[in-house]
Structure formats: C-alpha cells, structure tokens
C-alpha cells in the first residue's frame, strides 16, 4: 500500500506542475474508502483543485475537470474549485463523500474552510434521491439472477443504510460501511451481512456466488421505502450563494498570495 500511496502522491505532484494548479484536497473514493475493497480493486483517486485567478477571468475558461489516468491500478481525476462549489450548492452527495473520505492523500486549511461552509448546503432530499437511485440501479442491473457478484450487494446496501442514516440524524452520512452498520438492524440481516463480509474478503471482482435471500429481500423492500421517503421530503436546497461565493474568493485570494 505504501508504494501505491507514494505513486499516487507523485502523480498529484505531476498534475500540479503540468496543469499549473494547486490541489486542495485529494482522497480515495469508492470501495476502498467505503471499506469493502476486493483483493484486486483499483484505487479511485479524486481531488479538487484551484487555478490562478486569471484563469477564472478568461472568456475561454479551461476545462473544469482533469482526467489524469485510468488503468487497472489507478483511476485519477479531479474537479475545479468552481465546479465543486457549484455541486455543493446542488447538494451533490458524491462530493460530500469525497469531503468525508477516511483515506486522505493530501488536504489543506483552505479545504477545511470549504468543508465547514459546505455543511450549510447539505440537502437531505438530494442525498436520499442519490442513494435511492444508486441502490435501485444496482438492484435492477446486477442482483436479479440466481448467482450474483457479492460486491454488488454492498453497492446497494451501503446507499440504503446511508439513506437510513440521513433519515435518523439529518446530516451527511459517514463514508465507512462499518460506521453505517452501527445503525439498528434486524438480527438475521446483520448475520447475513457478517457472512457476506467474510466471503467478500476472499472473492475477486468478477466472481459470482448464490444469492443471500435475507440480504436480497432487504434491498428490495428498503429500496421501495427510500423512494417513498425521497418523494415525501421537502425541497431543502440552500439557494443562498453568499457563503460559497465568499469562500471561493478567499481561496482565490490565498492562491494569489502564494504565487
């Protein structure tokens, strides 16, 4: 792992130098951050970066994403600060997960300020819809046969538990699956998940195994319940851009002081 971490940090340094940006926050996303990576899982590296002020004043603004690498080991891409702040305003659940990832490759004081401001923009409705959609698409596309890839169970279970967490605590859910398992669950479901976790440690990405009925039934019923919850929730988007505009200017000004 240390060799991979060093390679990732070398790649991040290379991105800063070649793209003339400063990386504010870089994390692991996906199954490694969630805590249920397979032995052959790749590394999903996501980052947010800032450009010099002059780039934001151009008529032909640079692209707001950097897609750096995609191969069997590393998947590295990032978002520009302006794009990230706009997505926070929309309540983008994926971005909140990047912000809360337990695997951080690098971060900054500026990002801590951004994270503090972003809490004002967490939308329960947007997040529950996101997690419902993820679970529903996984259920329909990957969990219909007699044998399934066990990793796909987690791609439905985790978002459903995240939606439950939001319903109970009214805040962005933890990223780690183990933290979500602290929610109250039926005993038979918990036993089924424990069995799933043990088998998953020995299972590679593409391997299929028989359905686990208690897990499959929970996913089916809970997906329907979370759709009902998302439909019921009031629109809670924060449409006041003042705090986001302020932190955008703060970060840009700090960049100018550094160069």
204-229 pLDDT, tens digit each: 767 888 999 999 999 999 999 999 99
**Considering only 14-28, 63-77, 117-131, which range has the smallest mean pLDDT?**
63-77
CATH number of the domain encompassing residue 113: 3.30.460
Q: Do 60 and 164 lie in a common domain? A: no
The two three-digit tokens of residue 205, written as one number:
């990405």
Residue 37 has pLDDT above 70, yes or no: yes
Return the percentage of the chain with pLDDT > 70, whole number. Answer: 96
Q: Is residue 10 located within the same domain as residue 71?
A: yes
Q: Are 119 and 91 in contact (CB under 8 A)?
A: no
In this structure, the answer to whether residues 222 and 251 fall within a common structural domain is no
Longest dimension (CA), the chain: 60
User: Where does the pLDDT of residue 254 fall: very low under 50, low under 70, confident under 90, or very high at 90 and above?
Assistant: confident
pLDDT at 126: 97
**Spatial strand order in the sheet of 104-107:** 65-70, 74-80, 43-50, 22-29, 104-107
Q: Are residues 21 and 149 in the same domain?
A: no
Residues 80 and 42 in one domain: yes
Lowest mean pLDDT among 29-33, 102-106, 108-112, 239-243: 29-33
Statement: residue 200 has pLDDT above 60: yes
| Residues 101 and 149 placed together within one structural domain of the fold | no
pLDDT surpasses 60 at 259: no
Task: Tell me, yes or no, whether 34 and 72 share the same domain.
Answer: yes
How many residues does this entry show for the chain? 259
Residue 201 pLDDT > 90, yes or no?
A: no
pLDDT at 203 over 90: no
Count how many domains the chain has. Answer: 2
Are residues 9 and 116 located together in one domain of the fold? Answer: yes
Together in a domain, 64 and 135: no
Q: Are 139 and 169 contained in the same domain?
A: yes
Report, as an integer, the average pLDDT of 175-202.
90
What's the domain range around 134?
Answer: 124-232
pTM for this prediction: 0.92
What pLDDT, on a 0 to 100 scale, did the predictor assign at position 70? 84
Q: What is the pLDDT of residue 216?
A: 96
Residue given tokens 């439905």 in the structure block: 156
Q: What is the mean pLDDT of residues 25-31?
A: 94
Question: Is 245 found in the same domain as 224?
Answer: no
Q: Is the pLDDT of residue 1 over 60?
A: no
Q: Which tens digit of pLDDT belongs to each residue from 148-180? A: 998 899 999 999 999 999 999 999 999 999 999
Q: What percent of the chain has pLDDT over 90?
A: 82
Output the CA–CA distances (angstroms, integers) from residue 236 to 35, 89, 124, 144, 244, in the order listed.
30, 11, 7, 34, 17
Q: Are residues 29 and 156 in the same domain?
A: no
């Amino acid at each position: 792992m240390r060799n991979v971490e060093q390679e990732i940090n070398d790649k991040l340094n290379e991105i800063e130098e070649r793209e003339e940006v400063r990386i504010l926050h870089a994390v692991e996303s996906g199954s490694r951050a969630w805590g249920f990576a397979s032995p052959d899982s790749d590394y999903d590296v996501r980052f947010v970066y800032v450009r010099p002020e002059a780039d934001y004043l151009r008529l032909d603004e640079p692209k707001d994403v950097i897609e750096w690498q995609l191969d069997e080991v590393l998947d590295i891409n990032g978002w520009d600060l302006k794009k990230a702040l706009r997505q926070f305003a929309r309540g983008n659940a994926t971005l909140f997960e990047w912000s809360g990832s337990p695997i951080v490759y690098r971060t900054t004081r500026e990002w801590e300020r951004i994270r503090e401001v972003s809490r004002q923009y967490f939308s329960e409705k947007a997040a529950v819809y996101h997690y419902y959609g993820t679970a529903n698409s996984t259920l329909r596309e990957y969990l219909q046969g007699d044998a399934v890839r066990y990793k796909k169970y987690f791609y439905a279970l985790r978002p459903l538990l995240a939606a439950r967490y939001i319903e109970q605590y009214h805040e962005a859910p933890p990223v780690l699956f183990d933290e979500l398992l602290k929610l109250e669950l039926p005993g038979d479901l918990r036993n089924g998940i424990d069995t799933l976790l043990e088998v998953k440690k020995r299972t590679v990405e593409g391997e299929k195994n028989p359905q686990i009925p208690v897990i499959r039934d929970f996913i089916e019923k809970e997906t329907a319940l979370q759709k009902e919850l998302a439909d019921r929730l009031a629109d809670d988007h924060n449409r006041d851009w003042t705090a986001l505009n302020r932190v955008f200017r703060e970060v840009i000004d700090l960049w100018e002081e550094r160069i």
